[in-house]
Chain A
Amino acid sequence: AQKVTQAQTEISVVEKEDVTLDCVYETRDTTYYLFWYKQPPSGELVFLIRRNSFDEQNEISGRYSWNFQKSTSSFNFTITASQVVDSAVYFCALSEKRSGANSKLTFGKGITLSVRP
């Protein structure tokens, strides 16, 4: 069975600090996909990134960067120079290939990030 662990539950930082959100996953599949979603206070889930298991290149998008380490089954997310608008709950999720079109996402418990001015 697949599992996603986000050990951090709440993180509080001061604006402009860098912050890393950890994600560790478990799966028996060799092909899988990892995602990060953001859930602001308004409730909707916003897609941030998708990474497949064969692509271990790190990715940077503006202030956001992701570090995928297959050897440690981790897919960590770093926000550089955090801003108040980054305050939200962040979910890491895992999707296995073998379920095909019905492939469902398994979510971690989420990390509540609070950025103080």
Chain B
Amino acid sequence: GAVVSQHPSRVICKSGTSVKIECRSLDFQATTMFWYRQFPKKSLMLMATSNEGSKATYEQGVEKDKFLINHASLTLSTLTVTSAHPEDSSFYICSARDMDHSYNSPLHFGNGTRLTVT
């Protein structure tokens, strides 16, 4: 089945530094990738929709200058948390939809990245 690889799985960084998270579709091409943040009470919140070759579309309340998203190729999207603060500590999950399938195809999820900002 379709595989989405997310790296790193865990990262600890100091407050004020930036962290980059990569999301790769390994066996399919994805024109659209989605970035979610999972809060401690388990709900998944969509942060942004990333389209290959164009600017990401951010959800209301998500700071685009803080969470930089780049989707440079059909298999790679990156999320950079800039000037991280402890409140940015969370579980970040990317997902992708096979471009050969329509909107009703299931999203394939990465394994997530646990970010801890000290």
A residues lining the B interface (CB < 8 Å):
33, 35, 37, 42-45, 47, 50, 52, 89, 91, 95, 97, 99-110, 112
Contacts and interface: CB of A to CB of B under 8 A. Distances in A.
B109 A109 contact: no
Given A43-B91, A95-B103, 7 more contacts: A43-B114, A50-B105, A91-B44, A97-B103, A102-B51, A110-B42, A112-B42
Given A89-B42, A101-B102, A109-B42, A47 B108 contact: yes
Interface of B: 31-32, 34, 36, 41-44, 46, 49, 51, 57, 91, 93, 95, 97, 99, 102-112, 114
Contacts, number: 64
Contact of A44 (B31, B103, B112): B112
A111 to B, nearest CB: 9
B69 to A, nearest CB: 14
